[in-house]
Amino acid sequence: MEQAIIWSIPFLALAVGLEIAVGMARGRNSYRTNDTLANLSQGLISQLVFACTPLLQIGIYAMVFTAIGYQVDAPFWRTWYGIGLAVLMFDFCEYWLHRAGHEIAIFWAAHVVHHQGEEMNLCTALRQESQNAVLGWPFYLPMALAGVPPDLFGFVFLGVQYYQIWAHTDQVGKLGWLDRVLTTPSNHRVHHAVNDAYLDRNYGGVLILWDRLFGTYTAETERCVFGTRTPVRTFNPVRAIFQVYGALARDAWHAERWQDKLRIWFMPPGWRPDDVALRFPEPPFDLERERYDPPASGIARAAAILLFLTIAVGCGFFLWDAETLDGAHRALWTAVLIAGLCGVGWLLEGRSGAAVARGGNGSPFPRTASEK
């Protein structure tokens, strides 16, 4: 699986280049160096974690499939309708995992990384959460019980993930009837937005029909503001990963009731015990807040790009041979590479680490057909 991802990199780079060109031609480019490198750093970390946790990614699935999975004749799963059924099942399971990632605090803590980027572009799709894969494997076990072979599961997993990349863009407007059936850029912009009307909507991976069926669909009707309601304010990838975990742990520590210390992990995100909310109030949410864009020098940005490219090459070599390495060597490689990505974040934040507003270079919501 890791090698398949490496082979896809040139095609992803071409798509990103095309999106940048279109955005610049329209005068609404949605790429910033720091935001983009932060997104790509999280994508690399997710692949490193996947390589270090094969048991959770496919191992338990394969064991359940072998032990108690319903055994269907193998040729069935090689037909177009067998593959189609596997895609439908995967998409259904992913809908519920994705929904849990927004409605249960401990799952949101894992999933939040994917939403922290304050731009909407194809690199946002690559900002994959590493902890969600660690927590999310039980959601796919119904496929193992139903007899979907592990190799087909892996194939479908990659296919669905690649499909979702194109939905992360602000350069494609509404698409008519496709918006009523599939997860399209318009539908997925709603999912990533922090507007009141858009919160916790449009979870579908390939099909938006699940959202229509289970009452979580909302159409795009106003300009989307991207990011999270509690902004991460850092390009350090490790801090970004553990931001919400840390907030939950602090609230659990300060809660007076033992029931609340436990409940806080399983309540909807944002829920806090009354005593904790009273002692440690949080600032109100501001939709028009400034984007995080600390003033790093040109030299620091160039150094960050060079360091990132170096780490990316190292990740490529590691992932290509990961299956041949033992657990200790995988962990060592992962630790070294993640440390390098933390260095990229440090360079991007500049010496002051202060956040400043970005200029009026946002991505407006398409209002007319000519703007789509």
pLDDT at residue 355 in the model: 40
pLDDT at residue 320 in the model: 86
The alpha-helical segments, DSSP class H, found in the chain are 2-26, 33-52, 54, 60-68, 80-103, 105-111, 122-125, 131-136, 141-145, 150-165, 185-192, 209-214, 237-254, 258-263, 274-279, 298-321, 327-349
Distance CA 290, CA 292 (A): 6
Task: Record the pTM.
Answer: 0.88
pLDDT at residue 143 in the model: 95
Q: What angle do CA 329, 331, 332 make, to 5 degrees?
A: 65
One digit per residue, the tens of pLDDT, for the chain of length 372 reads: 556 677 788 888 999 999 999 999 999 899 999 999 999 999 999 999 988 888 888 889 999 999 987 877 778 888 999 999 999 999 999 999 999 999 999 999 999 999 999 999 999 999 999 887 788 999 999 999 999 999 999 999 999 999 999 999 999 999 999 999 999 999 999 999 999 999 999 999 999 999 999 999 999 999 999 999 999 999 999 999 999 999 999 999 999 999 999 999 999 999 999 999 999 999 888 888 888 999 888 999 999 999 999 999 999 999 888 888 888 999 999 999 999 999 999 999 975 444 433 433 333 333 333 333
Q: Residue 148: what residue type?
A: V
Measure Cα distances from 350 to 29, 121, 203, 242, 357 in Å.
23, 24, 36, 21, 15
